[in-house]
Amino acid sequence: MAWYHAGDSPGYYAVTSESISMNQAILFPELERWSDELQQVVFPAMVQGMRIECRIGLHALGVRAGCFVAPEQALAIFRQWRWDIEEEAEEAIRQDAFDDLGMIHLQ
């Protein structure tokens, strides 16, 4: 189970795999960014109005692209493989594969 703060609403709300029905939309707004500090592409998912931070690193991007990915190429590779990456993130959310901070990390 992961806990998320829902914007201006007071308190925190739980998102669990039981609370996400199979036909519940998980949306991925095009707000991806490169984090120099993390050396990962960080991209949001929206579930029931709550934002979940998803991340994918250079190695994982390289596996998908079949080549070495340098930091300056990360966003372009992410965008090229967006649909597959978002599908993996959606499945991880449905499988309740959150880390201790409530984030999804794709390997």
For residue 29, pLDDT over 90 is answered with yes
Whole-structure pTM value: 0.79
Contact 61, 41 (CB under 8 A): yes
Between 85 and 49, residue with greater pLDDT = 85
For residue 97, pLDDT over 70 is answered with yes
Contact 74, 34 (CB under 8 A): yes
pLDDT value at position 81? 97
Between 24 and 19, residue with greater pLDDT = 24
Question: Tens of pLDDT along 8-23?
Answer: 444 444 455 555 555 5
pLDDT value at position 17? 52
DSSP letters, 71-89, are GGGHHHHHHHTHHHHHHHH
Mean pLDDT score across all residues of the chain: 86
Angle made by CA atoms 17, 102, 71, in degrees to the nearest 5? 120
